[in-house]
Amino acid sequence: MIDLFEPRMPEDKLHESFRLIRQDPAYAPVMPVIQGWAAGLLERRREGDKFVKELQSTFNSAMWELYLNRALMELGFEVDFSKSAPDFCVTTPGGYRFNIEAVISDRSPSAPTIAGLSEQDFKIQSALKLIGKLNDKVRLYRGDGGKKYPYGVLEHVREAPFVVAIAPFDSDLSLTQNNELINLVLFGLGAPSHEADTFGHQERVARIQKKPGTEIDVGIFTNDSFKEISAVIFSTTGTFGKAVIESGIDRLVRSSRYRVIDKDLAQAGDPSWSLGEQYLAQGKLDFLKRYRWEDESLIYGMDVRICSSRVHRETHLDGLHIYYNPYAEHPLDPGTFWSAEITHNSYDVAADEPQQDHPDGALVSRQVHAPNSLALAHLLHSNGFIR
């Protein structure tokens, strides 16, 4: 197999993340993990060297493809790498076939720094980037712009579901956005409320401002404007941080997981389902914050955990979302990506409302930090453990 980490270009052309992995001995165990994600991917005709150079020079887009490649292996799918496009021509064990095109919303060197943006401006900018990238893939499928062989006319694509896998890398805050912005882009949903009496409620949003006097429609899966896209795969955890976790190296981990249970199944007196907020120190490097609210039939909320990577547990598929387009020309079978960790999101056209199936324990976000007292103090303070 081609070595992903043997430099193919001068040092000054290497991406800073790639240089860090190679130069810091602490990251040595991460390299074989990432190499393992590449199984089969580098054997595509004339593509191996190109892919390695992309990883070494731009990093994020290649890491997203590597993550997806491993996810498809975990699900037991086969990828036909004899097809040069889209990125993954996939067949399930049952013979069901579909295609995946991978893309990221990456940062521009000329983009404003986060320090120069308000939180709302950051969210608008990131949402616009997501819409722009999805629009690019629709144009590629249709052949807009004069592409000689648009995806839609390729024999292995034209009658099969076309899925776009997208991840945000456009700023240092991208991986903290959870699924809020993709919900806005696809379903026109605003940020969920964190107030106890309205917890989880999301206002409807029809459009966002691109610049003064110009607005862009959101909720692209609530109509047929993107009918060529059968579904969207999304994750903010399918990143380098996932490889760090899987390597087992020493890090501090901040994660959040969605929690939900039927009231009839919650045992009386079980503290893990007590309403309100709880702050718990479960060990020297293991802190848990619980939020719990109720409605007529459910208790639901969030677990935020700050702990050592030695006690953190996470699968490769944790944090993965599938969004189904009800207006798709070739719908993706909802049973295709069925695994306990995966969140499924659809839109009920008749009821004009989203249907979001978040399993109990679904990973919402995860970040890794240096294992030192300064990082720990910051995490504990910013998450309310230290007042």
**What own/partner pairs with CB < 8 Å and gap ≥ 24 does 106-111 have?**
106/58, 106/60, 106/61, 106/169, 106/170, 107/169, 107/170, 107/171, 108/170, 111/170, 111/171
- pTM for this entry: 0.93
Q: Are residues 345 and 308 in the same domain?
A: no
- Cα–Cα distance measured from residue 316 to residue 241, given in angstroms and rounded to the nearest whole number: 11
Q: Are residues 311 and 324 in the same domain?
A: no
pLDDT at 382 over 70: yes
Q: Are residues 286 and 175 in the same domain?
A: no
Higher per-residue confidence, 200 vs 364: 364
Q: Are residues 153 and 297 in the same domain?
A: no
Please report whether residue 3 resides in a domain: no
Higher per-residue confidence, 108 vs 227: 227
Q: Are residues 257 and 302 in the same domain?
A: yes
- Cα–Cα distance measured from residue 86 to residue 89, given in angstroms and rounded to the nearest whole number: 7
| % of the chain surpassing 90 pLDDT | 73
Please report whether residue 209 resides in a domain: yes
pLDDT at 112 over 70: no
- Give residue for tokens 């199984």: 39
Please report whether residue 1 resides in a domain: no
- Cα–Cα distance measured from residue 198 to residue 151, given in angstroms and rounded to the nearest whole number: 44
Q: Which domain holds residue 255?
A: 250-315+360-382
Please report whether residue 5 resides in a domain: no
Q: Are residues 344 and 366 in the same domain?
A: no
Q: Are residues 232 and 371 in the same domain?
A: no
Q: Are residues 208 and 149 in the same domain?
A: yes
Please report whether residue 4 resides in a domain: no
Number of domains in the chain: 2
pLDDT at 174: 60
Q: Are residues 163 and 273 in the same domain?
A: no
Q: Are residues 25 and 137 in the same domain?
A: yes
Q: What is the mean pLDDT of the segment spanning 167-177?
A: 70
Q: Are residues 215 and 280 in the same domain?
A: no
Please report whether residue 375 resides in a domain: yes
Q: Are residues 236 and 262 in the same domain?
A: no
Dig out the tokens for 274 from the structure: 């007590």
Please report whether residue 219 resides in a domain: yes
Residue-wise pLDDT tens digits, 293-346: 998 899 989 999 999 999 999 999 999 999 999 999 999 999 999 899 999 999
